[in-house]
Structures are given as C-alpha cells and as structure tokens.
C-alpha cells in the first residue's frame, strides 16, 4: 500500500513553470531522496506537499485518502488545509525555531495549542500538559539533547537547532517527514550529527522525503531516489539504479560533480 | 531672595496643575494612538490595493505636515468653517481637540513602526507555525507578537520620549499644560509678572518625567533580552 501518491503536480509562479507534471509514489517506511541541480523545483515540490504552496494542478493522496485535488476547490479551504497538512512534517534548511521559547517549549507548543481544542482539556489540563511534556522530553532525548532542553535557540549550535526542529516536527506524529536540505546551513562537523539522527529515524521506519545535496548519505539511507531537472522527474529508482547506472545523460552529468571518477 | 521664596509655592502649585494636564494629554495619546496605530498598520498592509493606497496617503499627509497645523485645523475648522463649534470654548474642549490631534498624529508614526516590526519577522516563522497546523491568529499571538514587541520597543520608546515634549505644542490652542502655566508668569499671573525662571522650572518637570520613562522602558527592553 502506498502511503503517498502524487499525480501530475504542476506549479507555476507567474509565468515560470517550476513543476511540470510531477508524479511519484512512496511506500510506508521508505525513504525517498530528491536530488537535482539548483532551481530544479525540489523545494517547491516539498512546499506543495506541505501546502505552503498550492499546486495549480494534480492530486495528492495520503494512505489512499485524497488530501489535495487541483480540480476541486473544497481542498483549498483553510480548515481543510490545516487538517491535511498534519499528514506531513517539515524540517527547513534554516531551522525556523521560535526564538522566544526553549528547546522543550518549541517541541511542545503546537501540541499544547492542539490540546486546547480537546473537549476534556479543562478537566484534565494538568495531566494532558504533563503527557505532552513527557513526550517532548523523550523526543529531545532521542535527538541526543537531554541536557539542552531548557536552552533557547540562540544558545544552541546549528546542529542542535536542527535536531530540535526535527523533534518539533516529530511531536505531531506526521505520516511523512519532509526535509529540505537539512544540513545545508551547517558546517561539515555539525552535518554529521544531524545525518546520524536521520539515519536512526530511517532505521525506526519513519517515512521520509529528503531533499539533499549529500549524495553519499542519499545513497546509503534511501530506498528510492528521484532526480529532478527543470521541473521534471528525470529519473526515479533505487539508489543503485540512479547512482550506479543512470539512464539519462543529464543525470550522469549532474552526478559527475559529486562522484569524480 | 525673600521674594523668590514667597513666589515659589505659588509657581509650583500652578506648574503642578499644568503638568497634570500635560500628563493627561500624554496618557490619553498613548492609550489612543497605540491601538489606532496597530489598526492603521494593518490597513497599510491590506491586500486590497485601494485601501492600502488610502492609508498610505493619509500617513503621508499626517507625517508630512506639522503637528501644530493639525492641532489648529482640528480645533478651529469645525467652528470657523462648518459653523459648528463642537469643542466648546472651555479647557475640556481644548483638551478633547488636542487629544484627537495627538492621537491621530502619533498613531501614524506608531503604525509605521508596527509595520516595520511585522515585516521584520522572517516568513520562516509563519511557515514553521503553518506546517505545525497552527491558525493565523495562533501564529500571530504565540509566535510573532513577542518578537515584534522586542523589535519595536526601542523606536517606540523614542516616540514616547518625544511625545512627552510634544505635548507642549497644545499651547497653540491655549491648552493649559505646563509651559502655558509657566509662561503665564511672564505675562502676569497671580501677582507675578516678568518672571522667566518658572519656565526653567518646567524643564525640570520634563527631565524628571523622561528620566523615569527612560528607566521603565529600559527595564522592559532588558526583560526581553532572554532571546534574540
Ligand atoms: N515564490 C516564488 N516566486 C517566484 N519564483 C519562485 C518562487 N519560489 C521559487 N521560484 C522559482 O522556482 C524555481 C525552483 O525553485 P526551487 O526553490 O523549488 O528550486 P530548488 O530545486 O529547491 O533549488 P535549490 O537547490 O537551489 O534549493 C526557481 O527558478 C525559483 O526562482
Ligand atoms: Mg531548495
């Protein structure tokens, strides 16, 4: 059973077509890496999945349920979008942590706000908040940040910030976690600690879509690799197929920048 | 010297009354201009271009002309041109006219500061909130508001200190604020005339007031130093 199906996604900004008919699917617990040169539309694709951009056309299904259909305006309602985007988590290149909250509060905040809508919130407030806190602490421990929970983002290194951001996304238990170049803002030393955490998540069978320029990592961790070029999916297959035996000339050319032979 | 000591209590009493009026105008302006400024800042960022345009022109006119002219127009226009002296001729009427002129004027300045504050928050903050399923209002109140307050506090503090001094402009429509009260002793009032020293005393009131405000506002800024 496919956890995610994207069909014929198209997206233009003004007159520039950025995504031209993108289709792919993903099985539960698989890791999909998206690679491609700058401007090929990788970020835009992730943003469409998270409804930060609205595709002009196409269908997105999660666990068989349609969450977006470009021909049906009812999917554009704000409440609908807010519900559907929770299938996805998003980790940004620039972390985007909330600076006025500690690491722990960053992870708890969205859950707390959600809990306020629960009918039993008033009666069981204390217990609910206690649970949310315990879960957040557990996530931060998993990220290796047990001694950083009370720190504010400006007191953390880039790698620590990104791990908090991952914990924050995981707190809402998304079906699919998206990463947009999660290590591009980090120096090589800090990149390692973030990639290690992502590998652990993959081992725990988290379904993930990772836009990355870390080719070695993509090769190691992915079940599928998707090569994008100028808004098209040019190549899609296992890491061995895409990295080992690319079919398109354009793919070979792109990969030659990373794997000098 | 004896004369001075004799006159001092009379002058101080009069200055106190004037300063009370100054403070009233100051607080009325803050109370009115801060929320009105926020509303104007939303208007000047409206998605509808005609609304945005109207607000921009309004802000341009108010910020581009002297507050003194605005005071005079608001006070005299209804009576002289519309033949409807809505303000009456008493101190209460002068205060109401002054307060309205000040509120409109300062709201425009505040609105530009608010607009800058809102725009200076990176869109990444909105996007992070959105992907976590937050509503627009949750994002504004739980994520952006405190960051905004931190950024606008220094320029707002500046405006507040300026406002304390600007209240003296209301003298132009004979509002009996502290400078009006001090100047009265030059022209002759309560048996004292030709005395300029009461005017110097008024300066001390301003200095003390702004000194206290500087301390309070500085504390607020300090309070927000826990994050960057
Ligand atoms: N909001 C926007 N308005 C107009 N054009 C945009 C917008 N966002 C992206 N684009 C354009 O869409 C194209 C694809 O951008 P996108 O950010 O998706 O590329 P990318 O593959 O993520 O690149 P990179 O590897 O540099 O991050 C670019 O040409 C970009 O200029
Ligand atoms: Mg990108």
Ligand 1 midpoint to CA A208 (Å): 21
Does residue A55 sit at the B interface (CB-CB below 8 Å)? no
Q: pLDDT of A132-143, one tens digit each?
A: 999 999 999 999
CB B227 to CB A100 under 8 A? yes
CB A154 to CB B134 under 8 A? no
Indicate whether B26 belongs to any domain.
Answer: yes
Percent above pLDDT 90 for chain B: 86
CB B131 to CB A109 under 8 A? no
Ramachandran angles phi, psi of A234, nearest 5°: -90, -30
pTM across the whole model:
0.89
Residues 6+ apart with CB under 8 A from A9: A19, A21, A22, A23, A45, A48, A55, A57, A58, A60
Pick A82's closest partner by Cβ from B122, B133, B143.
B133
Tell me how many domains chain B contains. 1
DSSP assignments along chain B, one per residue: -HHHHHHHHHHHHHHHHHHHHHHHHHHHHHHHHHHHHHHHHHHTT-SSHHHHHHHHHHHHHHHHS-HHHHHHHHHHHHHHTSS--TT-SSHHHHHHHHHHHHHHHHHHHHHHHHHHHHHTS-HHHHHHHHHTT--HHHIIIIIIHHHHHHHHHHHHHHHHHHHHHHGGGGGGGT---HHHHHHHHHH-BTTB-S--HHHHHHHHHHHHHHHHHHHHHHHHHHHGGG--
Residues at CB less than 6 angstroms from ligand 1: A 13, 16, 18, 36, 38-44
Pick B147's closest partner by Cβ from A88, A99, A152.
A99
Distance CA A220, CA A210 (A): 13
> B20: which 2 tokens?
């009370």
A160 pLDDT higher than 90? yes
Q: List the CATH number of the domain containing B64.
A: 1.10.3720.10
**Nearest partner of A199 among A171, A228, A221, A172, judged by Cα:** A221
Distance CA A210, CA A91 (A): 9
The ipTM of this complex is 0.94
Distance CA B195, CA B123 (A): 59
Q: How many CB atoms are located within 10 Å of the residue B83 CB?
A: 7
Q: pLDDT of B47-96, one tens digit each?
A: 999 999 999 999 999 999 999 999 999 999 998 888 888 888 899 999 99
* Cross-strand partners of B189: B192
CB B131 to CB A90 under 8 A? yes
B4 pLDDT higher than 90? no
Using CA positions, which residue lies closest to atom 26 of ligand 1? A38
Mean pLDDT in residue range A146-160: 97
Mean pLDDT in residue range B23-30: 97
What pLDDT is stored for residue B6 in this prediction?
87
Q: Identify how many contiguous H helices and E strands chain A contains and give both numbers.
A: 9, 10
Distance CA A110, CA A172 (A): 8
Backbone φ/ψ region at B128: left (φ over 0), alpha (ψ -120 to 50), beta: alpha
Q: pLDDT of A57-99, one tens digit each?
A: 999 999 999 999 999 999 999 999 999 999 999 999 999 999 9
Strands A176-180, A207-211: parallel, antiparallel or unpaired by DSSP? parallel
Cβ neighbourhood burial of A186 (10 Å; 0-12, 13-18, 19+): buried
Mean pLDDT in residue range B196-207: 94
Does residue A52 sit at the B interface (CB-CB below 8 Å)? yes
Indicate whether B123 belongs to any domain.
Answer: yes
Indicate whether B100 belongs to any domain.
Answer: yes
Mean pLDDT in residue range B173-177: 91
What pLDDT is stored for residue A260 in this prediction?
67
Does residue A173 sit at the B interface (CB-CB below 8 Å)? no
What pLDDT is stored for residue B81 in this prediction?
87
What pLDDT is stored for residue A60 in this prediction?
97
Distance CA A63, CA A61 (A): 6
Cβ neighbourhood burial of B210 (10 Å; 0-12, 13-18, 19+): middle
A261 pLDDT higher than 60? no
What pLDDT is stored for residue B80 in this prediction?
87
Cβ neighbourhood burial of A218 (10 Å; 0-12, 13-18, 19+): buried
What pLDDT is stored for residue B145 in this prediction?
94
Mean pLDDT in residue range B107-122: 96
What pLDDT is stored for residue A217 in this prediction?
95
pLDDT band at B195 (very low <50, low <70, confident <90, very high): confident
B182 pLDDT higher than 70? yes
B174 pLDDT higher than 70? yes
Pick B147's closest partner by Cβ from A52, A88, A100.
A100
**What letter would DSSP give residue A159?**
H
Mean pLDDT in residue range A33-45: 96
Which residues sit with Cβ closer than 5 angstroms to ligand 2, an ion? A 43
> A23: which 2 tokens?
């289709």
* Cross-strand partners of B119: none
Using CA positions, which residue lies closest to atom 30 of ligand 1? A39
What pLDDT is stored for residue B193 in this prediction?
86
Which helix (H) or strand (E) segment is A239 a member of? Answer: helix A239-239
Cβ neighbourhood burial of B124 (10 Å; 0-12, 13-18, 19+): middle
- Residue whose tokens read 């993903």: A26
Distance CA A198, CA A192 (A): 10
> A146: which 2 tokens?
């047990």
Q: How many CB atoms are located within 10 Å of the residue B200 CB?
A: 9
Indicate whether B228 belongs to any domain.
Answer: no
Indicate whether B76 belongs to any domain.
Answer: yes
pLDDT band at B191 (very low <50, low <70, confident <90, very high): confident
Mean pLDDT in residue range A237-242: 95
Mean pLDDT for all residues in chain B: 94
Buried residues in A245-258 as b, exposed as e (16+ CB within 10 A):
ebeeebbeebbeee
CA distance A82 to chain B (A): 5
Q: State the residue range of the domain holding B169.
A: 2-223
- Spacing of C-alpha B204 from chain mean position: 20
Distance CA A5, CA A63 (A): 8
Does residue A10 sit at the B interface (CB-CB below 8 Å)? no
> B146: which 2 tokens?
């405190």
pLDDT band at B194 (very low <50, low <70, confident <90, very high): confident
**What letter would DSSP give residue A73?**
G
């Amino acid at each position: 059973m496919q956890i995610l199906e994207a069909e014929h996604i198209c997206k233009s900004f003004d007159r520039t077509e950025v995504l031209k008919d993108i289709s792919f699917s993903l099985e539960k617990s698989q890791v999909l890496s998206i690679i491609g040169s700058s401007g090929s539309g990788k970020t835009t694709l992730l943003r469409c999945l998270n409804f930060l951009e609205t595709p002009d056309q196409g269908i997105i299904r999660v666990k068989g349920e349609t969450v977006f259909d470009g021909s049906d305006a009812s999917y554009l309602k704000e409440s609908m979008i807010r519900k559907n985007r929770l299938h996805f988590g998003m980790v940004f290149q620039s972390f985007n942590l909330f600076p006025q909250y500690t690491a722990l509060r960053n992870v708890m905040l969205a859950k707390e706000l959600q809990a306020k809508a629960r009918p039993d919130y008033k009666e069981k407030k204390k217990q609910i908040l206690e649970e949310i806190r315990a879960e957040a602490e557990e996530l931060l421990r998993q990220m290796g940040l047990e001694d950083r929970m009370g720190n504010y983002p400006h007191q953390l290194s880039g790698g620590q910030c990104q791990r908090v951001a991952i914990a924050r996304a995981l707190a809402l238990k998304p079906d699919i976690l998206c990463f947009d170049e999660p290590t591009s803002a980090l120096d090589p030393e800090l990149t390692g600690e973030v990639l290690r955490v992502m590998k652990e998540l993959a081992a725990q069978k988290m379904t993930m879509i990772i836009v990355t320029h870390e080719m070695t990592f993509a090769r190691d961790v992915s079940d599928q690799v998707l090569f994008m070029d100028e808004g098209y999916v040019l190549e899609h297959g296992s890491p061995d197929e895409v990295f080992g035996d690319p079919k398109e000339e354009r793919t070979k050319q792109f990969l030659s920048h990373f794997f000098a032979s | 010297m004896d004369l001075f000591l004799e006159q001092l209590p009379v002058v101080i009493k009069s200055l106190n009354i004037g300063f009370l009026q100054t403070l009233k105008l100051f607080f009325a302006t803050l109370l009115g201009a801060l929320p009105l400024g926020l509303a104007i800042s939303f208007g000047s960022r409206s998605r509808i271009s005609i609304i945005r345009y109207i607000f921009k022109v309004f802000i341009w006119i108010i910020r581009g002309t002297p507050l003194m002219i605005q005071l005079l127009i608001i006070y005299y226009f209804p009576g002289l041109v519309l033949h409807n002296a809505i303000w009456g001729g008493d101190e209460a009427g002068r205060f109401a006219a002054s307060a309205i002129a000040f509120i409109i004027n300062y709201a425009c300045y505040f609105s530009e500061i608010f607009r800058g504050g809102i725009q200076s928050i990176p869109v990444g903050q909105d996007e992070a909130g959105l992907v976590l399923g937050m509503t627009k209002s949750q994002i504004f109140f739980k994520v952006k508001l405190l960051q905004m307050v931190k950024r606008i506090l220094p320029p707002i503090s500046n405006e507040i200190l300026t406002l304390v001094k600007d209240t003296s402009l209301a003298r132009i429509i004979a509002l009996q604020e502290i400078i009006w009260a001090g100047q009265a002793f030059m022209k002759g009032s309560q048996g004292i005339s030709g005395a300029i020293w009461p005017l110097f005393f008024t300066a001390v009131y301003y200095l003390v007031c702004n000194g206290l405000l500087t301390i309070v506002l500085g504390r607020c800024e300090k309070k927000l130093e826990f994050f960057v």
